Amino acid sequence: MDTSLLENIKKEVSLPEQVASQISQLIIDQHLVSGDKMPSELELVSKLHVGRGTIREAIKLMVSRNILVVRRGLGTFIADRTGQTEDPLGFAFYPDQNQLSLDLQEVRVQFEPWVARAAAQRATEENMKELKARCLLVEEDIMAGRDHLQHDVDFHVCIAQCTQNMVVPNLIPIISYSVGLFGKLTRNALLSETIIGHRAVADAICRRDGATAERMMRQHLEQNRVELEKVLKTMQEKQTPPGEQILP
Amino acid sequence: MDTSLLENIKKEVSLPEQVASQISQLIIDQHLVSGDKMPSELELVSKLHVGRGTIREAIKLMVSRNILVVRRGLGTFIADRTGQTEDPLGFAFYPDQNQLSLDLQEVRVQFEPWVARAAAQRATEENMKELKARCLLVEEDIMAGRDHLQHDVDFHVCIAQCTQNMVVPNLIPIISYSVGLFGKLTRNALLSETIIGHRAVADAICRRDGATAERMMRQHLEQNRVELEKVLKTMQEKQTPPGEQILP
- The 3-state secondary structure of chain A reads CCHHHHHHCCCCCCHHHHHHHHHHHHHHHCCCCCCCECCCHHHHHHHHCCCHHHHHHHHHHHHHCCCEEEECCCEEEECCCCCECCCCECHHHCCCHHHHHHHHHHHHHHHHHHHHHHHHHHCCHHHHHHHHHHHHHHHHHHHCCCCCHHHHHHHHHHHHHHCCCCCHHHHHHHHCCCHHHHHHHHCCCCHHHHHHHHHHHHHHHHCCCHHHHHHHHHHHHHHHHHHHHHHHHHHHHCCCCHHHCCCC
Range of the domain at A222: 91-237
Q: Cβ of B110 under 8 Å from any chain A Cβ? A: yes
Do B32 and B62 lie in a common domain? yes
Q: How far is CA B228 from the centre of its chain?
A: 20
First to last CA, chain A: 29
How far is residue A153's CA from residue A69's CA, in Å, rounded to a whole number? Answer: 25
Whether A110 and A74 map to the same domain: the answer is: no
Helix (H) / strand (E) element for B77: namely strand B75-78
Residue A165 forms part of a structural domain: yes
CATH of the domain at B69: 1.10.10.10
Letter string b/e over residues B88-108, b meaning 16 or more CB atoms within 10 A of that residue's CB = bbbbbbbeebbebbbbbbbbb
Phi-psi region of A84 (alpha: psi -120 to 50; beta: other; left: phi over 0): beta
Q: Considering chain B, what is the average pLDDT of its residues?
A: 89
Residue B1: pLDDT band with limits 50, 70, 90: very low
Does residue B245 lie within any of the structural domains?
A: no
Query: What are the distances in angstroms from CA A156 to CA A160, A172, B38, B110?
Result: 6, 7, 38, 17
Cα separation, A164 vs A127, in Å, equals 10
Residue A1 lies in a domain: no
Show Cβ contacts of residue B121 under 8 Å, excluding neighbours closer than 6 positions: B208, B210
B81 contacts on A by Cβ (under 8 Å) = 90
User: Across the interface, do B35 and A99 touch by the CB < 8 Å criterion?
Assistant: no
Q: Do A35 and B95 touch (CB under 8 A)?
A: no
Q: How far is CA B134 from the centre of its chain?
A: 17
Which of the given ranges, B64-73, B174-183, B196-205, has the highest pLDDT on average? B196-205
Same domain, B60 and B164: no
C-alpha span between A240 and A247 (Å, rounded):
13
Among the listed residues A84, A70, A80, A85, the one whose alpha carbon sits nearest the alpha carbon of residue A33: A80
**Which pLDDT belongs to residue B169?**
96
DSSP H helices in chain B: 3-8, 15-29, 41-48, 52-64, 97-122, 125-143, 149-162, 168-175, 179-186, 191-206, 210-237
CB A234 within 8 A of CB A189: no
Residue ending a domain, choose from B56, B78, B100? B78
With respect to residue A3, please indicate whether it lies within any of the assigned structural domains.
no
Is B84 part of any domain?
no
Distance CA A89, CA A175 (A): 10
In this prediction the ipTM stands at 0.86
Judge whether residue B12 has pLDDT over 60: yes
A31, A61, A96 member nearest B64 (Cβ): A61
Q: A56, A78, A100: which is the final residue of a domain?
A: A78
Claim to verify: residue A65 and residue A159 sit in the same structural domain: no
Across residues B207-225, what is the average pLDDT? Answer: 96
- The answer on A107 and A74 residing in a single domain is no
B77 bridge partner residues: B37, B69
Q: DSSP assignment, residue B178?
A: T
pLDDT at res. A236: 81
Which residues in B lie closer than 8 A to residue A103 (C-beta atoms)? 165-168
Same domain for A230 and A149: yes
pLDDT for A181: 76
* Contact in structure between A120 and A208 (CB atoms under 8 Å): yes
Residues of B (159-218) whose Cβ lies below 8 Å from A: 165-168, 170-171, 174-175
Give residues 118 to 157 of B whose Cβ lies within 8 Å of A: none
CA angle in degrees (0–180, nearest 5) for A37-A39-A42? 145
Q: Given an 8 Å threshold on Cβ–Cβ distance, is A9 in contact with B111?
A: no
pLDDT recorded at residue B64: 87
CB–CB of B167 and A104 under 8 A? yes
Q: Does A140 lie in the same domain as A216?
A: yes
pTM over 0.95: no
- What number is the average pLDDT over the span B3-7? 43
B156 and B69 belong to one structural domain: no
In a domain, B3, yes or no: no
Give the pLDDT confidence score for residue A19 in this predicted structure: 95
How many whole angstroms separate alpha carbon A21 and alpha carbon A67?
Answer: 11
Q: Given B2, B24, B65, which is nearest A85 (Cβ)? A: B65
Kindly list the averaged pLDDT for each block of 10 residues, start to end, along chain A of length 248: 42 83 94 94 94 94 91 92 88 90 96 98 98 97 91 96 97 89 73 93 98 97 91 79 49
Is B80 in the A-facing interface, judged by CB distances under 8 Å? yes
pLDDT in tens, B107-134: 999 999 999 999 999 999 999 999 999 9
One-letter amino acid identity for B98? N
CATH number at residue B180: 1.20.120.530
Nearest to B110 among A6, A69, A114 (CB): A114
Residues in A closer than 8 angstroms to B247, CB to CB, are: 28
Chain B CB within 8 Å of residue A2 CB: yes
Quote the distance between the C-alpha of residue A177 and its chain's center. Answer: 7
How far is residue B106 from each of residues A44, A150, B188, measured CA to CA in Å? 38, 27, 19
Whether B243 has a pLDDT exceeding 50, the answer reads no
How far, in Å, CA of B31 to CA of B50, rounded? 23
Identify whether residues A161 and A204 lie together within a single domain: yes
Domain assignment of residue A4, yes or no: no
Average pLDDT over residues B171-186: 83
Same domain, B125 and B228: yes
B85 is a domain residue? no
Same domain? B56 vs B115: no
Q: Residue B244: pLDDT above 80?
A: no
Which residues neighbour A62 within 8 Å (Cβ) at sequence distance 6 or greater? Answer: A20, A23, A24, A68
Confidence of residue B7 (pLDDT cuts 50, 70, 90): very low
Chain B residues closer than 8 Å to A90 by CB: 66-67, 81-84
**Assign residue B83 a region: left if phi > 0, alpha if psi is -120 to 50, beta otherwise?**
left
The residue count for chain A: 248
The closest CB to that of B104, out of A72, A106, A167, belongs to A167
- Which residues, 6 or more positions from B136, have their beta carbon under 8 angstroms from its beta carbon? none
Residue of B56, B167, B172, B175 for testing the chain A interface, max A β-carbons within 10 Å? B167
**Contact yes or no for A12 and B64 at CB 8 A:** no
Q: Give the residue from A98, A191, A199, A209 showing the smallest Cα distance to A146.
A: A191
* B113 and B18 assigned to the same domain: no
Quick one: which of A206, A223, A205 has its CA closest to A214? A205
Chain A contacts of B217, Cβ < 8 Å? none
Best of A93, A104, A163 to substitute, by most chain B Cβ atoms within 10 angstroms, is A93
Report how far residue A36's alpha carbon sits from residue B6's, in angstroms, rounded to the nearest whole number: 11
What are the b/e assignments for A215-229, b being 16+ CB within 10 Å? bbbbbbbeebbebbe
Number of domains in chain B: 2
Q: Is the dihedral of CA A87, A89, A94, A100 positive or negative?
A: negative
